[in-house]
Structure formats: structure tokens, C-alpha cells
Amino acid sequence: MITQSLTAVGIHTFRIVAIPDIHDPPRWVDHVCSIVSDFDVIIANNPFTRKLFSEKGYVVKGTAFFDRKRYSGKEIRRRIIQDEPWNELVPEVVFKIITDIDGINRIKSMSY
């Protein structure tokens, strides 16, 4: 969904990298660097992540939250389960993906 959302708004220069958790905070930064070696800035809002990378000398920036309570996965799932409108909370391409994969029924079936 991330790839489709970025592509839909004309962003084509990106790379998504899966980084498995090693449950070892002192080694976390080196672990990330061993997987993704070519970055200049860390984007993180998590205070612990920010601290770990800042201590290693990396530039760390946060992102703004936009009506976090409304635009949350929890709220979107709640609306889907309650048959309330939710499509305006996600990009059109995400709405299409969720409906195409029978995501509505999948979410509802996990809520019981």
C-alpha cells in the first residue's frame, strides 16, 4: 500500500527496506546501518529511536502529525467494523486495495 500510495501521488524515487528487530538497543543503530548503508537523515518520532541515532551522530528529524486521533489505524478499523464511512481517511489507492483483497471482511472477522 505504501508503494501504491507514493506512486499515485507521483513519488517514484524511494526504496522500502524491511529491517528485522534484533531486540538489542545498543546494537540497533549498527544493525540498521548494516542493512541500509546509504542514508543522510533519520526520520523518526519515537523518542528512543531518536536518542539512539542522535547519540551516534546522525541527523534525526521528526514528522508532523495530522489529526492523529482521526487518521489512525485504530480509528479506521473501528469505522470498518461499525460500517461507518472510512474511505476519506485513506488515500483512494489504499481504499481500493483494501476492498479488492476483501479487507473489510478480514478486519471484521478479526474483531470478534
C-alpha cell read off for 75: 480509528
pLDDT by position in tens, the chain (length 112): 999 999 999 999 988 889 999 999 999 999 999 999 888 899 999 999 999 999 999 999 998 888 888 889 999 999 999 999 999 999 999 999 999 999 999 999 998 7
Are the CB atoms for 19 and 44 separated by under 8 Å?
no
Whole-number CA gyration radius for the chain? 18
Q: Which amino acid is at 108?
A: K
CA–CA distance, 25 with 60 (Å, rounded to integer): 17
